[in-house]
Amino acid sequence: GESVGLHLPTLSVQEGDNSIINCAYSNSASDYFIWYKQESGKGPQFIIDIRSNMDKRQGQRVTVLLNKTVKHLSLQIAATQPGDSAVYFCAEYYNQGGKLIFGQGTELSVKP
């Protein structure tokens, strides 16, 4: 069936540490993945995306890794800051339905 899930519902890190948020997806035919950040009272904000012909993509302080063999996606945030505290969602583009399937979300808490 369609499902995109997260291994950890909550993650607490110290300011300055690196954070890793994991995501498992179920549809091996999915060819596009997105990470979103959602702050309290706001809508999801695009962070970074990756297409299935890549296994790594880097942005500013963020890196997304895609392992198609085990259908796993991760978001790495370098030098995590208090402003990074939010709920992070991975989303899988389900080509047959032409829609994004969102995971449950991981709440990242950054301790100063």
For residue 28, the minimal CB distance to another protein (Å) is 17
- Find out whether 95 and 2 touch, Cβ atoms under 8 Å: no
Q: How far apart are CA 77 and CA 18, in angstroms?
A: 6
Instruction: Give the nearer residue to another protein in terms of CB position, either 14 or 104.
Output: 104
Q: Which residue from 74, 45, 48, 75 is spatially nearest to 59, judged by alpha carbons?
A: 48
Residue whose CB is less far from another protein, 20 or 100: 100
Choose the binding region for another protein from 10-18, 42-50, 60-68, 70-78 (rule: CB under 8 A): 42-50
**Would you say the C-alpha torsion 17, 12, 89, 21 has a positive or negative sign?**
positive
Binding mask 92-111 for another protein (x = CB under 8 A): -x---xxxx-x-xx------
Contact positions with another protein (CB under 8 A) in 44-103: 44-46, 49, 87, 89, 93, 97-100, 102
User: H/E element holding 102?
Assistant: strand 99-102
CB-based burial label for 38 (10 Å; 0-12, 13-18, 19+): middle
Residues at the contact surface with another protein, assessed by CB under 8 A: 31-32, 34, 36, 38, 41-46, 49, 87, 89, 93, 97-100, 102, 104-105
